[in-house]
Amino acid sequence: MTVAAAAQPTSSATMFSPRWIADHLSRWPLHIAVIGLTAAWMVPTIGLLVSSFRPFSGQATSGWWTAFANPTTFTISNYTQVLSAGTTNLGQAFFNSFMISVPATVLPVSIGAFAAYPFAWMKFPGRNGLFLALVGLLAVPLQLTFIPVLSFYVQHLHWTTNNLEATGIPGLPWVPLWLAHAGYGLPFSIYLLANFFRALPSDLFESAEIDGAGTLTVFFRIVLPLSVPALASLVIFQFLWVWNDLLVALIYVGGTPSVAPLTVNLAGLTTSLGQGSNLLTAAAFFSMIVPLIVFLSLQRYFVRGILAGSVKG
Amino acid sequence: MSSVTYDHVVKRYTADITVVKDMYVEIKDKEFMVLVGPSGCGKSTALRMLAGLESITEGEIRIGDRVVNNVAAKDRDIAMVFQSYALYPHMSVFDNMAFPLQMAHMKKPEIDKRVRSASKILGLDNFLSRKPRALSGGQRQRVALGRAIVRSPKVFLLDEPLSNLDAKLRGQTRIELQKLHRELETTFIYVTHDQVEAMTMGDRIAIMNAGILQQVGTPGEVYDHPANLFVAGFIGTPTMNFVPVTTSDSSAKASGFELKLPKAVPAGKGMLGFRPEALTDKPSDVSTLEMKVDVVERLGSDQFLYGQVGGDAVTARVDPRMKVEPGDTAKLGLDVRGLHLFDAQTETAFF
């Protein structure tokens, strides 16, 4: 009786009866904790949003929460200034970020899938050793690779942004960055997908073998469709990481406005004396839109994919 | 439609792990052959070698006259139904059944025709657009069968296809499978650990234990004339009674009784076997057992008595009208036609 009442408080107890009130009060600590945590996490974002609608003078002298006292000072001038092509190049940077993020996501995920399949389902000598080495690569800090990789690009391949732009081939200046991001993303990509593939039931593969499906057919028609959750979560991980990355982009393509992504552009908006920081708030909010869309549209796969990839069976 | 021959087949994983030992069996065209044995006896491995999922260490497997040792699974003209059904979860029922035909590059209209005729046989017409997860266990099982049927293979391989079904459905499906076998007129090779399935479905049964083929025969043969102690104990529920005896010429002496054997055997130690139904409530002067009854089970159609004859545990299946209570001493007759005697050392049957 009590169990049923707790599970369905509204149906078993009449509204506002002592029982109904007790049932509802007992849930308050949980609700308060959840709402409190959510609010705490959202405060900086809300602060950023409010600040982005305040003039520079206001931002520099008082906290964002004081703005509500006289709402008349709210302005959209930060946004109009940031979005006007002449001052900040934000449109170009936005486009560059896309041009960097999409291939830098597709490459490691697709190559990772091709690599994960043999690790999971084909027998070849050295498989376990190679996989262990791969897992080891997860622990290598990527800062360690900047100097050797960059000097290889520049000294041996002569892949500087200037040289690559001079060829006139569109997209070519981003190739070093795409390859770098693919390299940094691959170990995790292969690791996650191999674990996911391995958890697929072996009967499916044997059945497909008897049905006459070759390795590639099995991969494209059975393994990939069944791995959509893992692939989606990997796409989110990688896309968010590349979109938000400043360091790797700065190192491999530099700050040339025609190729630099949003993050580099944002970092350049504000001077060391703090001028332009009003623009930064608007621009930062603007740059958040895309990750939010990607995350919200794929998040239901995200949770499922993490669970499915890490817990075997 | 084809015969299958296991010609002295051996499956060895390492030097000391041999799971199938020198297996020789000829399965006739259109026969329903059941491989049965306890888990780990090598029956599934034997089937998987025929399917092409495991390599053959020694010997030959022939389908018809063709040696298939080095033929790829897809070219062996076989179809297999897995215990887990192994349906492709992301494909509809139609696509599941069409998959092997698409792999064989069959034309669309022909695929459509075959899938529809198979789904008609199996009563799946109304489910063709559903995904496997929206089907019941029995329906999934039929889709797995359908995927095998559409290929019209020479040999059907079924690996414990009923073990994921509940008891009632299993009984129905057993009958449906037998009908299907008659309709398709194709060789069926069926692996199970359930001796009831083996007895009811098989034209012939091959009993395996510890990688060794023990006996091949019709259900009647293996029940009435088990080749050795293992087969005698494996086939039949409740199991056959085994009583250690000392034999001399043609009489056998157990701890609780002595009887004349129908055939002369060498003197020595032996194991006397008789099924519970060989005991009756009509004692005869030839062989009468005095059984101290411990437990009585009345099932309506049958009555099982569990007790002791001398120092040996014995089960009897007697007429339900016989009046017995636990603690009684029942006088039971033993039908000598149902007697088996096994060599105590080699465990092979004298008769």
pLDDT in tens, chain A (313 residues): 334 444 444 445 677 788 888 877 788 888 899 999 999 999 988 888 888 888 887 777 888 888 888 777 788 888 888 777 566 678 888 899 999 999 999 999 999 999 999 999 998 999 999 999 999 999 999 899 999 999 999 898 888 888 888 888 888 889 999 999 999 999 999 999 999 999 888 889 999 999 999 899 999 999 998 888 889 889 988 999 999 999 999 999 888 888 889 888 888 877 666 667 778 888 888 888 888 888 888 877 766 655 544 333 3
Nearby residues of A281 by Cβ (< 8 Å), 6 or more positions away? A48, A51, A52, A59, A78
Looking at beta carbons, which residues of chain B come within 8 Å of A208? 88, 99
CB contact under 8 A, B73 and A209: yes
Interface test with B, best of A123, A210, A220 (most B CBs within 10 A): A210
Q: How far apart are CA B192 and CA B173, in angstroms?
A: 14
Percent helix, strand and coil across chain B, each to the nearest 5:
30, 35, 35
For B311, the domain range is 238-343
Q: Which tens digits make up the pLDDT trace of B196-214? A: 999 999 999 999 999 999 9
Q: What single DSSP character describes residue A255? A: T
Ranges of beta strands (E only) in chain B are 4-14, 17-27, 32-36, 58-63, 66-67, 78-81, 155-159, 187-192, 204-209, 212-217, 241-248, 251-253, 258-260, 268-274, 279-280, 288-298, 303-309, 312-318, 329-334, 339-343
Decide: A205 and B84 in contact? Cβ < 8 Å.
Answer: no
- A224 in contact with chain B, both atoms CB, cutoff 8 A: no
What is the pairing mode between strands B187-192 and B155-159?
parallel
* Cα B290 from chain centroid (whole Å): 34
Q: How far apart are CA B177 and CA B158, in angstroms?
A: 10
- A207 in contact with chain B, both atoms CB, cutoff 8 A: yes
Q: Is B350 inside any structural domain?
A: no
How far A214 CA sits from the closest chain B CA (Å)? 9
List the beta bridge partners of residue A28. Answer: none
pTM: 0.80
- A217 in contact with chain B, both atoms CB, cutoff 8 A: yes
Instruction: Read off the pLDDT of each residue in B154-163 and give the average, rounded to a whole number.
Output: 92
CATH, residue B21: 3.40.50.300
Query: Of B233, B252, B280, which residue sits at a domain end?
Result: B233
Query: Of B197, B216, B233, which residue sits at a domain end?
Result: B233
CATH, residue B250: 2.40.50.140
Instruction: Tell me: do B253 and B330 sit in the same domain.
Output: yes
Q: How far apart are CA A135 and CA A17, in angstroms?
A: 59
Residue A205 pLDDT: 92
Q: Report the number of distinct structural domains present in chain B.
A: 2
Nearby residues of A104 by Cβ (< 8 Å), 6 or more positions away? A177, A178, A181, A182, A185, A238, A242
Q: How far apart are CA B136 and CA B157, in angstroms?
A: 22
* Cα A217 from chain centroid (whole Å): 31
Instruction: Tell me: do B136 and B266 sit in the same domain.
Output: no
CB contact under 8 A, A210 and B80: yes
The sign of the dihedral angle between the CA atoms of B67, B69, B70, B74 is positive
Decide: B147 and B79 in contact? Cβ < 8 Å.
Answer: yes
Q: How far apart are CA A144 and CA B341, in angstroms?
A: 79
Token code pair at residue B267 = 């003197």
Q: Is B349 inside any structural domain?
A: no
Residue of B nearest to A207 (CA): B86
Looking at beta carbons, which residues of chain A come within 8 Å of B104? 212
Nearby residues of A167 by Cβ (< 8 Å), 6 or more positions away? none
Nearby residues of B168 by Cβ (< 8 Å), 6 or more positions away? none
A147 vs A23, A252, B220, CA distance in Å?
Answer: 62, 10, 81
Query: Of B185, B211, B233, which residue sits at a domain end?
Result: B233
Residue A293 pLDDT: 86
- B99 in contact with chain A, both atoms CB, cutoff 8 A: yes
* Cα A52 from chain centroid (whole Å): 23
Q: How far apart are CA B307 and CA B287, in angstroms?
A: 18
- A200 in contact with chain B, both atoms CB, cutoff 8 A: no
- A310 in contact with chain B, both atoms CB, cutoff 8 A: no
Instruction: Tell me: do B143 and B89 sit in the same domain.
Output: yes
Instruction: Tell me: do B162 and B302 sit in the same domain.
Output: no
Q: Which tens digits make up the pLDDT trace of B292-309? A: 999 999 988 889 999 998
Residue of B nearest to A201 (CA): B86
CB contact under 8 A, A206 and B86: yes
Decide: A269 and A88 in contact? Cβ < 8 Å.
Answer: yes
Instruction: Tell me: do B252 and B184 sit in the same domain.
Output: no
Is pLDDT at B256 greater than 70 in this prediction?
yes
* Cα B150 from chain centroid (whole Å): 26
CATH superfamily of the A88-310 domain: MetI-like (1.10.3720.10)
Residue of B nearest to A206 (CA): B53
